[in-house]
């Protein structure tokens, strides 16, 4: 299953949650307290920012613009 590391109040995370919902893609949402700088989280994104998406194929994508472009290219069935 796709995993989205996000923070509920982050507008960039919200954008990705909306895109995933519009494309009807299942995902597990993991709330990340990015200010804690967990070592496992920093390994995923050295910048320590949310959102981060881990796709079904294991791809790790950081930054909301990059995630949005990736989702549009990888899942063109429901174009935004």
3-class SS string, 16-53: HHHHHHHCCCCEEEEECCHHHCCHHHHHHCCCCCCCEE
**Residue 10 annotated in active site:** yes
Contact 15, 64 (CB under 8 A): yes
pLDDT value, residue 80: 87
CA 43 – CA 29 distance, rounded (Å): 18
Judge residue 12's burial from the number of C-beta atoms within 10 Å of its C-beta, 0-12 exposed, 13-18 middle, 19 or more buried. middle
What pTM value is reported for the model? 0.93
User: Going residue by residue through the chain (80 aa), what tens digit of pLDDT does each one get?
Assistant: 999 999 999 999 999 999 999 999 999 999 999 999 999 999 999 999 999 999 999 999 999 999 999 999 999 998 98
Given the residues 2, 3, 7, 10, the one annotated as active site: 10
């Amino acid at each position: 299953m796709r995993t989205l590391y996000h923070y509920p109040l982050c507008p960039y995370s919200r954008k990705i949650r909306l895109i995933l919902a519009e494309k009807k893609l299942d995902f597990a949402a993991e709330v990340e307290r990015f200010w804690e700088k967990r070592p496992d989280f920093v390994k995923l994104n050295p910048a320590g920012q949310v959102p981060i998406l881990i796709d079904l194929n294991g791809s790790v994508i950081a930054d909301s613009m990059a995630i949005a472009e990736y989702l549009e290219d990888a899942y063109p069935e429901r174009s935004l």
